[in-house]
Structure 1
């Protein structure tokens, strides 16, 4: 594989080579000692919690959560191998494992080595100079010894959100949305801005071809410009799960089936469906990276200016060691605004979603959810109780922005079983469906970005992020650590300052063949169900 002349990673490597000194700083002996102590303490608590589970599950989980690199020889192979994969190789060498391999050279030596080790290359991921593969766990350590390999990490599956908790009781009156007024969207529409002329890519479970995604009530032509699937389907993208269609409706539904009542923010924006999940939501992290690669390759052909990712990894780690974070940064640095969900709070002792990819990346816009309290008056809105917030292991406060995410009504895929399973949430005979979660908040911001970029197409992602934050409203709950989206104020703002100044890019995008230094990962959270749509909230 030859790198293209406009390759973004090579360009970033040249520009940011000086930042490689950060690796030496992050690897200081004092920092590693503190991390190892923290890891040991967390593992003790983890073993206690897991003691009541079936023996098979316990042994499998422990394979992925044994002490980190401190217990292994300080070799180049260990430094190039994600600790979870290294310990699986030690404890279950015959277990086949799915990995993402970042290359250190332009040759195909690493791919050839995979074949020699009894493995198979499953996907090419040039956006981060990587590929996905499956091979015996014992072979992963040998692969990491190859000088053509820079980093080997687990390629965990993506799992659809479970139906947690009981559904809310049905309401006696027809439910309605408030966010178009809460955020000042109708006032933006009055300025003639509805997202026309640009596309928003939705990397999710697919988008159903619904009447709400047509141009207008009297124009049946669809705004669903492209549908691509990594879910094993040979045909166009559909959505048997329902999550992606709901997200897309918030971004760009026109409310055709409801006379405009349940329209999204940018009802004239084009939509791109990049399906990475089947009817249960199952996929892999490499599918997400492959979808991001597709966006990079086709961003100019479709004028893709925004990507929405309403999904979260369950592995807490530095953004410097995540292939998914590296991929979203490549898009960001090439003019595509990336909007991601912060994730929802799990049970006590669960992982912190804002410390996992892609919510933990400091460049992208990470979105938490607000509760509008059943009114269009933003002053009574509060951070939703389920919305996660906190600091990443690299010290960044997340989310940066809040948007409505409680009881949001949007388009329901006609292939989804949700209406039958939760009839009290179905609206207008199943044309629409009511959901809560940061999955619903992120597309609010993606739709807002589409309106802003229609008005000011020259803005860079960093300028868009700064504008949204500079014009946002304060929230009453300062502990939420974020400000509240104001679409009308953002569109009428004038600042062209840039966010993210001075923030180091992912080390996976830096030059050289030096191994990646792992820092503060919480291996209690490591499992092979590594990414999920937990940003959909099914509780009351």
Structure 2
């Protein structure tokens, strides 16, 4: 095809969309130029940080481009990214799930790296924290009708829930009569010998999901008391970490999905949403997990009106807000705490999608942990003297939701994440009738999750939603999608004749991603091994611990 013909077929975007036959062969030595120019996208918040202090080093995440027409595995791209970061500054870890790497660079080094034509984008590696607050004897299993599911024989057995958090301690409620913590991996700072959760937050969340009440003679029981749990530690003892640790944890979960039967990932942590989900690297990572068949349940955060944390801003995932169940099993007297996050993130759906009890939730205690020392008045004694712990926040609500999803997947193991989200949303119940609350409500989504109604409902046929993938997810999925049929939303979008495009002549960039019908791909039949993650070295000792320096911001709100 000649350049003259291309000018007729593609009148406005020929240079942006085609690799001409006269162009040199694309190799690692002769990378494609960015169709929007030679410089990578530097996130606006990172640009502001660079301008405010031109000499201070900044933790960053660097993402590589997919390089048509020769797809690379994402592990290869991640190793290339890590090598580039090390050439310019201090390297962190490979992040194959978004085809990138983390590190620490000075502003001048960031600017130099942005001019490498292989680099797609550079983001700040934002701090992440647990999403909680804090009091009462538990009513939440009956509140969400989990007790009715138990009566019918459901318990979450056979479903593994990965918990991205501060760790999971070997509590009897999780480890007896058999140990249901099937594996543990650490992407945060080194752990002291014999300690699994120095913060105490992850264990509390894990108990909400799957505690079986062994220590309390079943006085305090989680939602799915026979579900398996997988400890993916990404936060330090103060509840702090970086986006790159969350991404690395999600990458590990996806790579080990089939080994441990991981169907759900609980993300009771969050980072400030400094951009829309399309340009958010954590959102990209949860999308890859979602498309791989893992239900991602994320907290809305505790910022109140107009504030939703990442990755809860992503339209694909189930984002959960908090309710105060007032210590009763009836939703009619429920109210929403002022701190529960809600709003409409840029380019996304209204969030949260659903709500669940999240105030004064009693679950597992880790004696001597950070939270245990910080909030000694939150220790709760069971009638037999066993001690538990009381916390509040959308972290707790998210644990409730993850337990409900485990019950649902035990009953209907063939469900896709989209079907799970549709079922828990459509069967959600009203609450606060005593106060005249109407649903759907922007602060509460479709209402309070109902485990029994969801388990008893028919599997839905989910209509395509036309969702766009985040940029980093689109880049990373190039080797998986390469060669699949291409389906376009608008055959003449941006003045281009899209019928002329194929894998050999398109440039994989955001103009293509905007018009691509992502729902048309058969995600279940893709060859995910092409990502090449089995070649990555999962050794937490290689992590760069110099960037785990985010201070605690004090006790969580009640």
8 Å CA contact 1:313, 1:532 repeated in 2: no
**How far 1:404 moved relative to its partner?**
0.5
Aligned positions of 1:37-56 closer than 5 A = none
Q: 1:251/1:499 Cα in 2 relative to 1: closer, same or farther (>3 Å)?
A: farther
Task: Give the corresponding residue for 2:401.
Answer: 445
Task: Give the corresponding residue for 2:152.
Answer: 191
Task: Give the corresponding residue for 1:260.
Answer: 218
**Highest Rg: 1 or 2?**
2
Task: Give the corresponding residue for 2:418.
Answer: 462
Asked if 1:480 is matched to 2:443, the reply is yes
Q: Which of these residues, 139, 162, 165, is aligned with residue 204 of structure 1?
A: 165
Q: Which of these residues, 139, 148, 167, is aligned with residue 178 of structure 1?
A: 139
Give distance in 2, aligned partners of 1:529 and 1:82. Answer: 21
Q: 1:502/1:236 Cα in 2 relative to 1: closer, same or farther (>3 Å)?
A: farther
Task: Give the corresponding residue for 2:363.
Answer: 410
8 Å CA contact 2:237, 2:370 repeated in 1: no
Task: Give the corresponding residue for 1:34.
Answer: none
- Deviations, residues 208-245 of structure 1 (Å, cap 9, x unaligned): 11001024xxx2x3111111111222668711111101
Asked if 1:120 is matched to 2:90, the reply is yes
Give distance in 2, aligned partners of 1:109 and 1:134. Answer: 16
8 Å CA contact 2:285, 2:473 repeated in 1: no
8 Å CA contact 2:350, 2:442 repeated in 1: no
Give distance in 2, aligned partners of 1:504 and 1:515. Answer: 10
8 Å CA contact 1:93, 1:138 repeated in 2: yes
Task: Give the corresponding residue for 2:323.
Answer: 370
Give distance in 2, aligned partners of 1:197 and 1:142. Answer: 50
Deviates more, 1:77-86 or 1:428-437: 77-86
Asked if 1:318 is matched to 2:268, the reply is no
**How far 1:190 moved relative to its partner?**
1.4
Task: Give the corresponding residue for 2:456.
Answer: 492
Task: Give the corresponding residue for 1:389.
Answer: 342
- Deviations, residues 148-205 of structure 1 (Å, cap 9, x unaligned): 100100012334579x8xx77xxxxxx4211111111111011111011120000000
Secondary structure at the counterpart of residue 258 of structure 2: coil
8 Å CA contact 2:320, 2:397 repeated in 1: yes
Q: 1:362/1:77 Cα in 2 relative to 1: closer, same or farther (>3 Å)?
A: same
Asked if 1:228 is matched to 2:181, the reply is no
Q: 1:515/1:459 Cα in 2 relative to 1: closer, same or farther (>3 Å)?
A: closer
8 Å CA contact 1:151, 1:515 repeated in 2: no
Q: Which of these residues, 467, 478, 496, is aligned with residue 503 of structure 1?
A: 467
Task: Give the corresponding residue for 2:307.
Answer: 353
Q: 1:161/1:303 Cα in 2 relative to 1: closer, same or farther (>3 Å)?
A: closer
Give distance in 2, aligned partners of 1:125 and 1:211. Answer: 34
Deviates more, 1:400-409 or 1:495-504: 495-504
Secondary structure at the counterpart of residue 391 of structure 1: coil
Give distance in 2, aligned partners of 1:308 and 1:533. Answer: 22
Secondary structure at the counterpart of residue 89 of structure 1: helix
Where structure 2 has 5 or more consecutive residues not aligned to the other structure, the ranges are 1-12, 17-34, 432-436, 476-506, 513-546
Q: 1:423/1:96 Cα in 2 relative to 1: closer, same or farther (>3 Å)?
A: closer
**How far 1:343 moved relative to its partner?**
0.8
Q: Which of these residues, 22, 30, 41, is aligned with residue 80 of structure 1?
A: 41
8 Å CA contact 1:321, 1:516 repeated in 2: no
Asked if 1:538 is matched to 2:556, the reply is yes
Task: Give the corresponding residue for 2:499.
Answer: none
- Deviations, residues 273-328 of structure 1 (Å, cap 9, x unaligned): 11111211221110000000010011100000000001121133110001100000
**How far 1:489 moved relative to its partner?**
0.4
Give distance in 1, aligned partners of 2:160 and 2:143. Answer: 24
Asked if 1:243 is matched to 2:201, the reply is yes
- Deviations, residues 346-372 of structure 1 (Å, cap 9, x unaligned): 6xxxx9432x41010000000001111
Give distance in 1, aligned partners of 2:347 and 2:56. Answer: 32
8 Å CA contact 1:214, 1:223 repeated in 2: yes
Q: 1:239/1:110 Cα in 2 relative to 1: closer, same or farther (>3 Å)?
A: closer
Q: 1:183/1:91 Cα in 2 relative to 1: closer, same or farther (>3 Å)?
A: closer
8 Å CA contact 1:369, 1:402 repeated in 2: yes
Give distance in 2, aligned partners of 1:479 and 1:352. Answer: 10
**How far 1:501 moved relative to its partner?**
1.9
Task: Give the corresponding residue for 2:517.
Answer: none
Give distance in 2, aligned partners of 1:296 and 1:237. Answer: 26
- RMSD over equivalenced CA pairs, Å: 3.0
8 Å CA contact 1:311, 1:531 repeated in 2: no
8 Å CA contact 2:102, 2:125 repeated in 1: yes
8 Å CA contact 1:313, 1:530 repeated in 2: no
Give distance in 2, aligned partners of 1:185 and 1:225. Answer: 23
Give distance in 2, aligned partners of 1:146 and 1:513. Answer: 17
Task: Give the corresponding residue for 1:303.
Answer: 261
Secondary structure at the counterpart of residue 58 of structure 2: strand
8 Å CA contact 1:316, 1:352 repeated in 2: no
Task: Give the corresponding residue for 1:95.
Answer: 56
Task: Give the corresponding residue for 2:115.
Answer: 145
Task: Give the corresponding residue for 2:542.
Answer: none
Give distance in 2, aligned partners of 1:325 and 1:360. Answer: 8
Give distance in 1, aligned partners of 2:229 and 2:552. Answer: 20
8 Å CA contact 1:85, 1:137 repeated in 2: no
**How far 1:388 moved relative to its partner?**
1.6
Q: Which of these residues, 279, 284, 287, is aligned with residue 242 of structure 2?
A: 284
Q: Which of these residues, 320, 331, 340, is aligned with residue 289 of structure 2?
A: 331
8 Å CA contact 1:397, 1:481 repeated in 2: no
- Output the TM-score relative to the length of structure 1: 0.75
